[in-house]
């Protein structure tokens, strides 16, 4: 199954020839990656405790 990050990348690639939209998708993709990292860090902290 495709994750949100994967969907964002597909949308970005499909909009490569529309600079304004593709820039938006780059920002969305990077924000999703940050959220994923934060969630993973929270999970690992819970496991340690």
Cα distances (angstroms) measured from residue 3 to each of 19, 20, 21, 42: 23, 23, 20, 19
Helix axes 4-14, 19-48, angle to 10 degrees: 170
Distance CA 14, CA 16 (A): 6
For residue range 1-49, what is the model confidence (pLDDT) as tens digits?
467 777 777 776 766 655 666 677 778 888 888 998 898 888 887 776 6
pLDDT for the residue numbered 5:
72
Look up the pTM and report it.
0.42
Residue 24, pLDDT score: 76
Q: Where are the domains of the chain?
A: 4-48
């Amino acid at each position: 199954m495709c994750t949100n990050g994967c969907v964002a990348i597909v949308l970005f690639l499909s909009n490569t020839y529309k600079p304004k939209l593709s820039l938006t998708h780059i920002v969305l993709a990077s924000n999703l990656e940050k959220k994923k990292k934060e969630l993973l860090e929270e999970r690992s902290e819970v496991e340690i405790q």
